[in-house]
């Protein structure tokens, strides 16, 4: 593994810059944190991180290059991702104001809706990342331009596991911060406006995905 530390450092740095950049993953974890609380947000973070393994898997298997080089397949991923993000946006725009009792208690379950199950929260995070064509391009480019073809597949898979765990850790920290009692209660007072603002962000992100290209 010693021979690959230089390559690994480049992969880790590129991933750090990518995961810290605002995008659909951050927006969905933020919404889950404010709307539903820590458990839901952390399960969403785990879902986002797990989706990294999907991107790594098809990049190692060569499917990523097919998606990147085929306008048809790239369009399938692009429109599926845009549709899903837009659906999240429409949901956020429909959120109703919380009662004073809900704000005081810091309760989740916006608009009287029950908290999502762990499986549903995981699926939300997973699909948000998995259907993002920009994530597809990032990982395909990373494994083509940064990782040497001579690097053993097992080592490359290790890079993927690192990025998945790093993603989970980063967004879990985001979830913990935004679900602190003082922070969350402050946000909940204007919660429905924040949800609606995030709804507009989701719709804008969906629009940017529609116009994404393989270049």
Q: Is the pLDDT score of 105 beyond 70?
A: no
Rounded to the nearest integer, the mean pLDDT of the chain is 80
Q: How far apart are CA 194 and CA 187, in angstroms?
A: 8
Where do the structural domains in the chain lie, given as residue ranges? 2-11+24-210
Higher pLDDT, 100 or 159: 159
Task: Indicate the burial class of 72 (C-beta count within 10 angstroms; 0-12, 13-18, 19 or more).
Answer: exposed
Q: Is the pLDDT score of 13 beyond 80?
A: yes
Query: If you write DSSP's letter for every residue of 1-33 in order, what string do you get?
Result: -GGGHHHHHHHHHHHHHHHHS-SHHHHHHHHHH
pLDDT at 104: 44
- Match 């097992």 to its residue by tokens: 154
Q: What is the CA radius of gyration of the chain?
A: 18
Tokens of 205: 């992100």
Q: Is the pLDDT score of 197 beyond 80?
A: no
Per-residue pLDDT band for 111 (boundaries 50, 70, 90) equals: very low
φ, ψ (nearest 5 deg) of residue 23: -170, -165
> Is the pTM higher than 0.85?
no
Look at residues 168, 179, 177, 176 and name the one whose alpha carbon lies nearest to residue 37: 179
Residue 109 per-residue DSSP state: S
Mean pLDDT along residues 163-176:
96
Q: Is the pLDDT score of 167 beyond 80?
A: yes
Look at residues 195, 207, 201, 171 and name the one whose alpha carbon lies nearest to residue 81: 207
Cα–chain center distance at 151 = 28
Mean pLDDT along residues 28-56:
93
CB 184 within 8 A of CB 106: yes
Higher pLDDT, 189 or 135: 135
Per-residue pLDDT band for 186 (boundaries 50, 70, 90) equals: low
Q: Is the pLDDT score of 122 beyond 90?
A: yes
Mean pLDDT comparison of 26-40, 79-93, 191-205, highest-scoring range: 26-40
Q: Residue 196: CB partners within 8 Å, gap ≥ 6? A: 92, 93, 95
Residue 59, classed as helix, strand or coil, is helix
């Amino acid at each position: 593994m010693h021979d690959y530390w230089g390559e690994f450092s480049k992969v880790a740095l590129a991933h750090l810059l990518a995961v810290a950049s605002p995008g659909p993953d951050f927006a969905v974890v933020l919404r889950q944190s404010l709307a539903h609380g820590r458990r839901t947000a952390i399960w969403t973070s785990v879902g986002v991180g797990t989706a990294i393994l999907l991107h790594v898997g098809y990049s190692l298997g060569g499917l990523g290059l097919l998606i990147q080089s085929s306008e048809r397949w790239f369009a399938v991923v692009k429109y599926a991702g845009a549709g899903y993000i837009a659906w999240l946006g429409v949901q956020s725009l429909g959120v109703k104001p919380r009662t004073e009792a809900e704000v005081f208690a810091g309760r989740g379950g916006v608009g009287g809706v029950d908290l999502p199950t762990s499986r549903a929260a995981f699926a939300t995070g997973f699909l948000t990342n998995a259907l993002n064509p920009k994530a597809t391009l990032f990982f395909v480019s990373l494994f083509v331009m940064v990782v040497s073809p001579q690097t053993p597949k097992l080592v490359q898979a290790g890079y993927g596991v690192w990025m998945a765990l790093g993603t989970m850790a980063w967004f879990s920290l985001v979830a913990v911060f935004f679900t602190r009692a003082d922070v969350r209660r402050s946000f909940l007072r204007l919660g429905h406006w924040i949800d609606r603002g995030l709804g507009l962000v989701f719709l804008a992100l969906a629009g940017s995905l529609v116009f994404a290209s393989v270049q």
